[in-house]
Amino acid sequence: MRERGRGGGAWMGMVWSLLFWSMIARMMVRVTRTVGQQEEELSGGLRVGFYRHSCPAAESIVNSVGCDGSILIENGPQSERNAFGHQGVGGFEVIQQAKLRLEATCPGTVSCADIVALAARDAVSLANGPKYEVPTGRRDGHVSNLSLAGDMPDVGDPIELLKSKFSSRGLSDRDLVLLSAAHTIGTTACFFMMDRLYNFFPGGGSDPSIQPGFLPELRARCPKNGDVNTRIPIDEGSEQIFDKQILQNIRHGFAVLQSDAKLNDDPVTRGVMDSYIGFLAPIFGRSFEADFVQAIVKMGQIGVRTGSSGEIRRVCSSFN
């Protein structure tokens, strides 16, 4: 696996999960803006440059250690971070380290939710992805409960349920494809794969959508009685580079996650993928990078707490 600078492995290990669960954590328009436009307030009370005066070093501090932050809370077995869908989510220690440095520089100013948003942005950039500005001004929530994770897309969800979960948050079918493509970076654990590889049907067997030549490779990496905590790349051959190769893999039966493979089951989501990787896409297709940025900016407006709502946590893993 290729390393990309100091701390690259830690960033790569957490970025896809940060992006994926950030829809539930209320976790981001192109970079070319004028100074006046940078102060423009966006929906939800967020704006680029929110900490320009109160904590000018905020973004550089987060970058150096390289949503409402509910997944960060440690408050026993019912905390959101213990949900099945969050198993394997990493990078908590990076967020905590950034918070320590920010509290030393600008105490009580930068929320944990904004740290997560900034860290995800930096990780995408570190993986040669698009560089974009993050509207900030989020405040941290007061609730972290296992039940909150029920709204999160699950690896076993059928395509209609995936579309419904995204739609309920104001996200389109195109957003579903683009945000699923965040799986271009990172790894997953074998325990998310076992049913797909060995118990897809009541009597056993594997998911028939897996390309026949790919199935033995997946089974070799995740043997039936092996360690379910073993991690495998989600975007084989490109797992540390942000690109659209994962869409090619999905379309041709090389999806690792079942939820990614389900994008092939719907003509609309298939069409969205083809708009980025189809035969005429290099000439007439849309920009995957620009559309991804728009989708994640849009996601960043979901259910945010701003103004006097919520709090600024002193420690990201506990309420004040």
Q: Does the residue 187 lie in any domain?
A: yes
Cα 259 to Cα 158: distance, rounded to the nearest angstrom: 7
User: Is residue 260 a known part of a binding site?
Assistant: no
User: Is residue 68 a known part of a binding site?
Assistant: yes
My answer on whether 183 and 75 are in the same domain is no
Q: What is the pLDDT of residue 26?
A: 35
Q: What is the pTM of this model?
A: 0.79
Q: What is the pLDDT of residue 127?
A: 82
Q: Which of 98, 131, 152 represents a domain boundary (last residue)?
A: 152
Q: Does the residue 310 lie in any domain?
A: no
Q: What is the pLDDT of residue 65?
A: 64
Cβ–Cβ contacts within 10 Å for residue 193, how many?
22
Q: What is the pLDDT of residue 303?
A: 77
Q: Which of 152, 183, 208 represents a domain boundary (last residue)?
A: 152
Q: What is the pLDDT of residue 243?
A: 94
Q: What is the pLDDT of residue 169?
A: 84
Q: Does the residue 118 lie in any domain?
A: yes
Cα 144 to Cα 80: distance, rounded to the nearest angstrom: 5
User: Is residue 140 a known part of a binding site?
Assistant: no
Q: What is the pLDDT of residue 223?
A: 98
Q: What is the pLDDT of residue 149?
A: 57
Q: Does the residue 56 lie in any domain?
A: yes
My answer on whether 120 and 215 are in the same domain is no
User: Is residue 66 a known part of a binding site?
Assistant: yes
> Range of 279's domain?
159-297
My answer on whether 221 and 132 are in the same domain is no
My answer on whether 19 and 147 are in the same domain is yes
Q: Which of 152, 172, 204 represents a domain boundary (last residue)?
A: 152
Q: Count of domains in the chain? A: 2
My answer on whether 134 and 200 are in the same domain is no
User: Is residue 153 a known part of a binding site?
Assistant: yes
Q: What is the pLDDT of residue 245?
A: 95
Q: What is the pLDDT of residue 21?
A: 38
My answer on whether 12 and 88 are in the same domain is yes
My answer on whether 144 and 163 are in the same domain is no
Q: What is the pLDDT of residue 186?
A: 79
My answer on whether 98 and 226 are in the same domain is no
Cα 216 to Cα 73: distance, rounded to the nearest angstrom: 39
CATH number at residue 124: 1.10.520.10
Q: What is the pLDDT of residue 250?
A: 97
Three-state SS sequence of the chain: CCCCCCCHHHHHHHHHHHHHHCCCCCCCCCCCCCHHHHCCECHHHCECCCCCCCCCCHHHHHHHHCCCCHHHCCCCCCCHHHCHHHCCCCCHHHHHHHHHHHHHHCCCCCCHHHHHHHHHHHHHHHCCCCCCCCCECCEECCCCCHHHHHHCCCCCCCHHHHHHHHHCCCCCHHHHHHHHHHHHCCEEEHHHCHHHHHECECCEECCCCCCCCCHHHHHHHCCCCCCCCCEEECCCCCCCCCCCHHHHHHHCCCCCCHHHHHHHHCHHHHHHHHHHHCCCHHHHCCCHHHHHHHHHHHHCCCCCECCCCCECCCCCCCCC
Q: Does the residue 309 lie in any domain?
A: no
My answer on whether 137 and 70 are in the same domain is yes
Cα 112 to Cα 313: distance, rounded to the nearest angstrom: 7
CATH number at residue 229: 1.10.420.10
Cβ–Cβ contacts within 10 Å for residue 103, how many?
16
My answer on whether 102 and 216 are in the same domain is no
C-alpha torsion sign, points 314, 315, 317, 318: negative
Q: Does the residue 197 lie in any domain?
A: yes
User: Is residue 122 a known part of a binding site?
Assistant: no
Q: Does the residue 34 lie in any domain?
A: yes
My answer on whether 98 and 193 are in the same domain is no
Q: Does the residue 311 lie in any domain?
A: no
My answer on whether 117 and 44 are in the same domain is yes
User: Is residue 80 a known part of a binding site?
Assistant: yes
Give me the residues of the chain with pLDDT under 70, please: 1-44, 65-92, 143-151
